[in-house]
Structure 1
């Protein structure tokens, strides 16, 4: 479609695109949108299909938001949908990544808006150079503040600790198979907003703020919500089905990974790759985040959960680029179907419940043994009583691990061999602490002997001093030196 300008003796108006400098004469009504209208920006995900109508009447030029998803800003103020705003020359309007300015002019020259003939729509890949680090709306700050608010409530109930105990997480909605299986499936969603450690929450908050802001900027609110909740719910379901039934699943980490996938999908869209690379800090933080979680000491099936969330985010983003407009509303349903397929494919690869329990037990016992060694070494330096008392406390802790290990029920020969290895590790730790207890007893015996010898020496010294004093008195009488 072409917009043909013509000379006129009266003053007119033209709509100037701030980035490219191209302009359109305002001769009637013009619709700007992503798929419909005279001016189209196919790859601007912040635009609705029909986003903004611009026209002129007897009162002058006007703008009207057509009920867009992400809104339109007129001179920095959000426009009310379906309401006409009469403006004057110099007014600026921003929608999605595009920005236009209304200018007055004397002569309206011909301009072509048809993308087939090189009009502005053919340059839909061009993007404004502004780097919006903070979100324009309160959605991202609201999510981050809500996460911290919930964590403060959890921490307050746990005595203001940086690590939230499992019983507190369970009361606040932590997801676990033995709980959810009794009908409390709402925990799968609620647990996305819980965090077990302040360090994890800090990392997730930074990613939500930086990556989420860019996702909101490129995709809009709808896909931000889908990109957060769909991968998060998928990750929680996978964790419930592959972890121990007693494991409490919390945290937005997998949901944040979905947002990272959404952002990375823009690298596969040539029209947006250049603009995304200008926001290099968001990409760098995304890759560091993925490297951090994938390099943690965790089994392969837990790493697969993060990769699944990343794949869901990538698929969600690419669907906006390659799907026709009439299929875009079905994207959430399609993504949910893909999630179910991933579940069906991946479940046979998941370890048995015993292996999940054994893995967590081994991790916990390894941490305990390492900390126990440090405590015992410090007690050894402090003396035999401190060492013997600490050894007694550590042996009590070992009883706790023995009872916990008894709850694990190995079935296959492989599981039985793992069970025997865990029993042997507890026995080794017990033997080590028993040796230290003997060392403490020996230290006490050596100390007692040394103390007795010292006492004997003191007594003999006193006796010798008395004899010397008597001899001196015989020689000098009362004037003997003291």
Structure 2
């Protein structure tokens, strides 16, 4: 059984557009789409522990909407689109936005704590938080056992690849793990809410097949 969750898919497109607009702002400030200066990223809200410690705590959130390259934006946008189509209707748009922001904030805090002196930006912490929500759902009885096993393998492989790349590339695994952990915790807390939402969605005759 696959539920088509198009209804309620509003916040995800808005986040995708916001991330794109912020990328275009950074590109305009730098005069190109490939090389972003540290100064411009800091000016527009990138996460940097030295400035955060000076009281610029807002960077922990604004950095979630900045990306360091076009490829960075594309990968995060694709992940957000796929996960958002499933998770936003299951949580509801308001709860989805709160979870996204909280997981992004958790990722930034983890980066701030474990990577002092390193500039970081991107939606990866928030997106790994959505993976955490998805894992919490898969570990419950919301999903059919045969699908659960198949999806757990797929999600596990994606997470392993991404975290593995962080061992060799300049990728902020601290933000990834912070977002993932917060997503799992929030997902487990919100399981009763998601079960209730799913029952209401099914009662509203969403297309099944």
Instruction: State whether structure 2 residue 107 is matched by structure 1 residue 235.
Output: yes
Instruction: State whether structure 2 residue 4 is matched by structure 1 residue 131.
Output: yes
Q: Deviations over 1:204-245 (max 9, x none)?
A: 101111101211122212331232122211221221222232
- Counting matched residue pairs gives 189
Match of 2:119 among 248, 273, 279: 248
Offset of 1:178 from its aligned partner? 1.7
Say which one has the larger Rg. 1
Aligned to 2:27: 155
Provide closer, same or farther for how the CA distance between residues 273 and 175 of structure 1 changes in structure 2, counting only shifts above 3 A: same
Q: Deviations over 1:164-187 (max 9, x none)?
A: 221110111112122122221111
Match of 2:88 among 193, 216, 224: 216
**Aligned counterparts, 1:84-163, within 5 A:** 129-132=2-5, 134=6, 136-163=8-35
Q: In the aligned structure 2, how far is the partner of 1:283 from the partner of 1:228? A: 23
Q: In the aligned structure 1, how far is the partner of 2:151 from the partner of 2:139? A: 18
Offset of 1:281 from its aligned partner? 7.8
Provide closer, same or farther for how the CA distance between residues 281 and 202 of structure 1 changes in structure 2, counting only shifts above 3 A: farther
Query: If each structure's helix is expressed as a fraction of its own residues, which one has the higher value?
Result: 2
Q: In the aligned structure 2, how far is the partner of 1:313 from the partner of 1:257? A: 7
Query: If each structure's strand is expressed as a fraction of its own residues, which one has the higher value?
Result: 1
Match of 2:98 among 219, 226, 232: 226
Provide closer, same or farther for how the CA distance between residues 283 and 232 of structure 1 changes in structure 2, counting only shifts above 3 A: farther
Q: Quick check: 2:27–2:33 contact (8 Å CA) kept in 1?
A: yes
Match of 1:291 among 140, 160, 169: 160
Q: Quick check: 1:211–1:282 contact (8 Å CA) kept in 2?
A: no
Aligned to 1:195: 67
Q: Deviations over 1:308-364 (max 9, x none)?
A: 3222211211223369xxxxxxxxxxxxxxxxxxxxxxxxxxxxxxxxxxxxxxxxx
**Aligned counterparts, 1:59-74, within 5 A:** none
Q: Deviations over 1:119-169 (max 9, x none)?
A: xxxxxxxxx74433x564421111001101110110111112224221110
SS of equivalent to 1:273: coil
Offset of 1:292 from its aligned partner? 3.0
Aligned to 2:133: 262
Q: In the aligned structure 1, how far is the partner of 2:191 from the partner of 2:167? A: 35
Offset of 1:294 from its aligned partner? 0.7
Offset of 1:297 from its aligned partner? 4.4
Q: Quick check: 1:230–1:255 contact (8 Å CA) kept in 2?
A: yes
**Aligned counterparts, 1:4-15, within 5 A:** none
Q: Deviations over 1:86-123 (max 9, x none)?
A: xxxxxxxxxxxxxxxxxxxxxxxxxxxxxxxxxxxxxx
Structure 2 gap segments, 5+ residues each: 194-209
Provide closer, same or farther for how the CA distance between residues 183 and 137 of structure 1 changes in structure 2, counting only shifts above 3 A: same
Aligned to 2:37: 165
Q: In the aligned structure 1, how far is the partner of 2:177 from the partner of 2:111? A: 13
CA RMSD of aligned residues (A): 2.7
SS of equivalent to 2:51: helix
Q: In the aligned structure 2, how far is the partner of 1:267 from the partner of 1:321? A: 11
Q: Quick check: 2:26–2:40 contact (8 Å CA) kept in 1?
A: yes
Instruction: State whether structure 2 residue 176 is matched by structure 1 residue 306.
Output: yes
Structure 1 gap segments, 5+ residues each: 1-127, 324-482
**Aligned counterparts, 1:350-369, within 5 A:** none
Q: In the aligned structure 1, how far is the partner of 2:7 from the partner of 2:152? A: 13
SS of equivalent to 1:295: helix
Q: Quick check: 2:110–2:178 contact (8 Å CA) kept in 1?
A: no
Q: In the aligned structure 2, how far is the partner of 1:162 from the partner of 1:265? A: 37
SS of equivalent to 2:121: coil
Instruction: State whether structure 2 residue 190 is matched by structure 1 residue 317.
Output: no
Q: Quick check: 2:9–2:89 contact (8 Å CA) kept in 1?
A: no
Aligned to 1:455: none
